Every structure is written in C-alpha cells, then in structure tokens.
Chains A and B, each alone.
Chain A
Amino acid sequence: MKHIKTLNTRNLKESMKHGGCGECQTSCQSACKTSCTVGNQTCEKKK
C-alpha cells in the first residue's frame, strides 16, 4: 500500500482459534510487581 504500512502483527481474532493453552507466564512473576502488563508476555506456543 502506498499510504499505509501495516506492521507484522498477530491478529488477535486469529489467536482465538489456537489460543488459550494457559502455559504462558503469569505477568506479575516477571518483573512487575505493581503494574500489570500482559501485552508484553510471550506466547508459549510461539517460542
């Protein structure tokens, strides 16, 4: 496209098809103990 560049993104709707295994890390266990940050967690299946 000439005016719009779409970044390579995992479409959240597509992730409904194969998501939900629950094996991913709990957010507070990583490096935040007071501000919940879920969007930066890694999908265990995509590792």
Chain B
Amino acid sequence: MNIILKQDNDANMIHRYKNNGYNIVLDVNSGCVHVVDDIAYDAIGLYDEGECNICGVLMERYPDENREDIEELISEIDSLKDNGELFSEDIYEDYIFDAGSRETVVKALCLHIAHDCNLACRYCFAGEGEYHGRTALMSAEVGKKALDFLVAGSGNRRNLEVDFFGGEPLMNFETVKEIVRYGREIEKKHDKKFRFTLTTNGVLLNDEIMDFANKEMSNLVLSIDGRKEVHDRMRPSRNGKGSYDVILPKLIKAAESRNQTDYYVRGTFTHFNTDFCEDVLHLADLGFNQISVEPVVAPPSEEYAITEQDVAKICDGYDRLASEMLKREKEGKGFNFFHFMIDLNGGPCVYKRLSGCGSGTEYLAVTPWGDIYPCHQFVGNEQFLLGNIEEGIKKKDICADFKLCNVYSKPKCRDCFAKFYCSGGCAANAYNFHGSILEAYDIGCMLQKKRVECALMLQAARNEEENK
C-alpha cells in the first residue's frame, strides 16, 4: 500500500497550493479540484515526488495519527487516481494535431466602427484611438458587408458575435444602429443569432443610446479604471482634463438600466496602481456588480508598464481582493470579478480549452475600411493583414499558423498548470513581447496563474459555506 511508484510529472500533472487557509490540489488533466486537510496535502505531495515510504514519512511528521488512518488516506488517494480524478493522464495532445486539419468557421467579428476617440488614454494600444494610422469611421456599407462575410463563413454555427469597438464606437453611432438593423434582417433568413456587444468609454452615452443598447446589445463593456485619481491620470480627454466626472454618472445609470447584469465596467491597471484591488473595491462601492479590471500590456519602455518587480505586490492584491469578495458575499454585498470567474461544473469543454481564444480563425477584426486582421490587437500591423471583406481571406497561411497555436505548440505552456484555463494566452501579447505567436508573455502568465489559484480558492470557500 505505501510503496508507490514515482509519477511522471509532465504527463500526470497536479498543482498543489495553499491559499486563504485552504489546501487545494488541482488535477490538471481532468480539471478536478480537491480541497484537502494538511496530512492529505503532504501525502499527495509525497506521492507526486515519488516517495516510496509515504506512510513512514507521514507517521514521523504527524505522530498523533495512527497507521490505520494514514493507510486509509493513501487508499483515498489511490481511489481518486483509479477514477481518473488525480494524477490523471494527458490524452488530449493527439487530438489537437488531428484538429489542425479540421476546417474552422468564423463566428465572431470585432468591428472597428471608429478609428477615432474623444479620449486620449495613455495606455491605448490603438495609439490614442487612431491605430497609428489615419482617423476613419466605418461606413454602414462596410459594416453590412462584414456581417455578410461572417454569415457566409460561419458554417452551421448559429450564435454569431459582433463587437462594436474602436477607438470610440459611439462617435459613429448611426452606423452602429444601421448595422444592427441589417443584422436583425438577415439573421432570420440564415437561421443565425447575432449577439452584439458594445465597448465604450461612456463619454457620449445618453438615454437614446442606452435604450438602443438595452434592446440590442447582449453585453456592454464600459471603460473605467477605478478611483478618480487613477482613472484621470491614464484616461484624460483630448484637452488633458480627466474624464472620471463626465463618465461616472452615465456608467452608473447604464448599469442600473441593465439591472446590474449583462455588462462589465472594465478597467486597466498599470505600474502606477499596483494596489488595483482598491480600484476594484471602489467600483464595487459605487454599486457596480460586474467588474473586470486587468493589467496593462505595454512595452517595458513605457513608464506605466508593469514590471517583474510589480508582480509580487499585484499577486498580494489578488489575494486581498479574493478574501474581501468572500467577506462581502457573506454580508450580502457580493460582486462579480470577471477574472476570478470560473465555472467548474458548467465551464467550457476541453475542445474550447485547447483551441484558445480563436484569434485568426474563429475571431477576426475588421477595420473601418474593411481590412481583416487576426484580432483587434493586430490591427495596423501590415504583416498580419489577412484580406478584406470584399475578397475574403487571402493570406490563409497566416490563419493556418493561428490555427496551430495552442497549449501543446507553445513550449512554455506544456508544463503549466493553468494551461486549460488561459488556453495559451493572448497571441498578440506573445507576438509583441517575443516576436512569435507561439511564445507566451511572461508577466501575463505569472498573473494569470495567480488569478486561477484565487478563482479555485473562491470556489472552495463558497462550497464550504454552502455545505455548512
């Protein structure tokens, strides 16, 4: 019973960690999450290390425990292993290479409705909204052709997503309305369902736009960074004045008008506010229930870029945020933080987790003049220009590269416990930092791993609360 052969760490990976008083063991390949007591935590660790005399080591470490109890614990571990819930094997790799030859369909478009903006956010990857190129607004004609392109390329997928993005899309609101109207016309004809979303800085929001958005937009992403001084520092208007006071009342009204669902206030934190937890809590204190605040991605030359030295403080911030969220949930003041969301029971299937975000294959971005790029972050980089909505995809070889971009083709991902949660991360970030979409942006990986740990801890704590 207590003679156990060493596990192959690569193939039968587990991740064991302690967080907020919980001992958690994630079985990476099955996705099973185990909450264990101290002795089980040690036993699984010894098992993983290939210790031959687990019972003996544990009896020495826990002199109050008797041999029968320890043997029972080891049989619990064996039983989980036999059921494929612990030290389970990776059986997906062969599948992913078969999947490479499969035809993919387009199911989501990011429409760059306006390459223009009424703010001049310092961290904007679009170069203050203009994508380092000409200022331009999408015409309704281009938008409609983009929807035709999406429908034609979507095969038998029924749910199709279209995000109105910018720049600031509300600077071209009449076109948004016309594209939506056209979408509603053609979806019946083709048995499709468009899910429209709008990403806005909120400056131009008014009652008319909100009425339209509440009727037509399945999700609304409202940009705000948190505390006034934090927001205003990075999100000034064109005249240099902060935008917080202008947008806040509009965002509060928008969130209320959607009954606090189907929207996100979305912020970016930088090197200047590594205490971003306070910004998340500020947004929660303002009454927002759906919150997404994520780290800026910027070249190291920018003074606001997150550095490796910031990582420890940011990780502490995630811990504090998770524990504060639990406290507020108990007080009936809970809120949702997008990057801690994890649905263990109803989450995505393994195919989704293997295929990543879908950029360059299922998800494409369209510029105001109809050019197609792998995603919004590649727009403006001519090397990644895939084609246009008139002639379709011309650079199929680039799409093929994106199709093969997955956790098994990325050396850094293969042995990472979080690979089935981030699916290999953002291709644009990988390219911008390392010149290859098969790389991974290291700071992003460190923070992603911490978020997964916190998300699993929250599930463990909620489970405990439910079973009290």
B363 touches A (CB below 8 Å): yes
**CA gap between A1 and B276 in the complex, in Å:** 39
Residues of A within 8 A of B264 (CB): 30-31
* Cβ–Cβ contact B297 & A43, under 8 A: no
Chain A proximity mask over B449-467: 1 for CB below 8 Å, otherwise 0: 0011001000110010000
Residues of A within 8 A of B195 (CB): 25, 29
Residues of A within 8 A of B386 (CB): none
* Cβ–Cβ contact A10 & B347, under 8 A: yes
* Cβ–Cβ contact B349 & A39, under 8 A: no
**CA gap between A38 and B161 in the complex, in Å:** 16
In terms of DSSP, what is the predominant structure of the interface of chain A? loop
| Other-chain contact of A43, B108, B346, B459 (Cβ < 8 Å) | B346
Chain A proximity mask over B333-368: 1 for CB below 8 Å, otherwise 0: 000001101111111111111001111001100000
* Cβ–Cβ contact A16 & B350, under 8 A: yes
CB contacts under 8 Å to A, within B78-107, are 80, 84-85, 88, 91-92, 95, 105, 107
B409 touches A (CB below 8 Å): no
**CA gap between A8 and B463 in the complex, in Å:** 9
B200 touches A (CB below 8 Å): no
| Other-chain contact of B80, A2, A6, A7, A22 (Cβ < 8 Å) | A6
Chain A proximity mask over B412-430: 1 for CB below 8 Å, otherwise 0: 0000000011111110110
In terms of DSSP, what is the predominant structure of the interface of chain B? mixed
Closest residue of chain B to A34, judged by CB?
B297
* Cβ–Cβ contact B36 & A5, under 8 A: yes
CB distance from A28 to the nearest CB of B (A): 6
Residues of A within 8 A of B (CB): 1-13, 15-16, 18-20, 22-44, 46-47
Residues of B within 8 A of A (CB): 29-37, 39-40, 43, 69, 72-73, 76-77, 80, 84-85, 88, 91-92, 95, 105, 107-108, 110, 125, 157-159, 161, 163, 195, 197, 199, 219, 221, 264, 266, 268, 290, 292, 294-297, 338-339, 341-353, 356-359, 362-363, 375-377, 420-426, 428-429, 444, 447-448, 451-452, 455, 459-460, 463
Known contacts A35-B295, A38-B356; 10 additional CB pairs below 8 A are A3-B37, A13-B30, A25-B159, A27-B423, A31-B338, A34-B294, A35-B297, A40-B455, A41-B348, A43-B349
